[in-house]
Each structure stands twice: as C-alpha cells, then as structure tokens.
C-alpha cells in the first residue's frame, strides 16, 4: 500500500520507512500549539489518521463529510499501532476500534485566568464582564472536514 506522512509544517514523505512513525510522533510533541498535529494517509484507500498534541487521534475518509471519528486520550504506542494498521489497509479493523463520532475539540487550556482584567460593559449601568473559570465549548463536532 502507498502512504504519505505529514509533519507539523504540512511537509510530507511518500512511503517512508516505518521507523519514521516514531520520529513523526516526537515532532508533534515538540511543535507549537498552532502546528501541533501530524498525519498518516493511506493514499490508495483515501483514509487518514491524524494525531494531535492534545492527545486526540482522528480518523476520516479524505474529502467525505460525516466520516470523522476520534479517540481521546491515546498513547504513543496506540497511535503508531493505528498508523501501521492504516498503512496495511486494515480499514475494517480500524473501524472496530473504540472511536467516538465527529471531532473532539480539546482546547490546550480550558481555564481562563481569573486574574484577567474585567472588560468594560456596553452600557454604564450593566455589570462588567469578567473572565470565567471554564470555557463553554462543545466537545464534539461532526461535519468538519480535515
């Protein structure tokens, strides 16, 4: 099977040696939050698995809505195992893994600093808006494309 890796800068290699998978994972851990994901794509079958610094892994069929699923948290060993299954074309075996639907949104830090200065309210008599303890974000979103 043909496959491609994509590093944190979007650069890739076609059919690298499998030992590069560990290096790819290590690059992800050292990347900045803006570039904190890497991926392996089975170019023959059109499926890809991306791993993200936040600990989530996403599988999807390239260019098809509603195929994305995720796992969280996932160990390095498991990520590499999933990538190898993808490279070998074991899509049915991959689909049998404990994926959850959609993408998981995992902000790097769900807390907002309480020491943030209050913002000015729109009207003079309204209470000032203060930072909250936790962001209120949905955890799962389906319908996004990678």
Question: Is the sign of the CA dihedral 20, 26, 29, 30 positive or negative?
Answer: negative
Quote the CA–CA distance of 47 and 59 in Å, as a whole number.
Answer: 7
Rounded-to-integer distance, Cα 25 and Cα 33, Å: 14
pLDDT digits (tens, 9 = 90+) for 71-117: 999 999 999 999 999 999 999 999 999 999 987 654 443 333 233 33
Query: What is the predicted pLDDT for the residue at 7?
Result: 92
Q: Which residues does 63 contact at the CB level (< 8 Å), separation at least 6?
A: 46, 145
pTM listed for this prediction: 0.71
- Quote the CA–CA distance of 44 and 65 in Å, as a whole number: 19
Q: Which helix (H) or strand (E) holds 71?
A: strand 69-71
Distance from C-alpha of 118 to C-alpha of 136, rounded to nearest angstrom: 18
């Amino acid at each position: 099977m043909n496959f491609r890796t994509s590093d944190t800068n979007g650069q890739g290699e076609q059919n690298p040696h499998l030992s590069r998978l560990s290096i790819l994972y290590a690059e992800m851990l050292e990347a900045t939050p803006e570039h904190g994901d890497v991926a392996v794509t089975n170019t023959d079958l059109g499926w890809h698995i991306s791993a993200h610094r936040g600990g989530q892994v996403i599988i999807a069929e390239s260019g098809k809505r509603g195929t994305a699923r995720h796992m969280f948290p996932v160990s390095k060993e498991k990520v590499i195992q999933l990538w190898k299954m993808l490279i070998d074309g074991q899509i049915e075996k991959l689909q049998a893994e404990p994926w959850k639907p959609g993408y998981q949104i995992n902000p790097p830090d769900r807390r907002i600093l309480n020491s943030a200065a209050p913002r000015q309210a729109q009207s003079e008599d309204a209470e000032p808006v203060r930072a909250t303890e936790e962001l209120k974000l949905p955890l799962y979103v389906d319908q996004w494309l990678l």
